[in-house]
Structure 1
Amino acid sequence: MLVTDIKAAVVEQITELLREAEVEHGEFTGAERLNAIGLTSLLLARLIIQLEIDLGVDPFAEEDLVISDIRTVDELVDAYARTLGAPVAA
């Protein structure tokens, strides 16, 4: 799986969750902080569950990475890319 595919899945799920929560947002560049775009802890948990269903992996199942270490959309994409063995952004 390519990083662009992973980012598309992440952005799609974030967009859907924010739409359901009626949170206004613009387009995502990747640099946005997850909490600044309106993802509450509950929405973030739902996002991780949905991404595990969509992508088939949970990068936070291993002890070396915790969700609280992830601050931006790109960092979330990179966590999934590493778990799936896709090259991550430099």
Structure 2
Amino acid sequence: MEKILRPRQHGHDFAFSGLATCGECGAAITAEQHIKKYKNGTSQTFIYYRCTKKLKPCSQKYAPESDIEKQLKKVVGDCGLHQDWEPYFEK
């Protein structure tokens, strides 16, 4: 019997997904959400980006979303974009 294929469900919409490839091995960069649950009942969400390591072995580690955001802001700042674009990058 033939299996009916459905499109893959995307549960998250990460800010920087699909923007870059790994500088070491050239594989795609993917995002993961980790939820830390504390004994007092609260939780905290962390988003990390990492190399998928699909093309070949790679030594790169996870990077928190805050680090990726800082690096991207620096790259955009170094490009010297027109001041009218600044409000779009402050969000």
What's the TM-score, normalizing by structure 2?
0.27
More strand per residue: 1 or 2?
2
More helix by share: 1
For CA contacts below 8 A with separation 6 or more, give which structure has more relative contact order: 1
Q: Using structure 1 for the length normalisation, give the TM-score.
A: 0.27
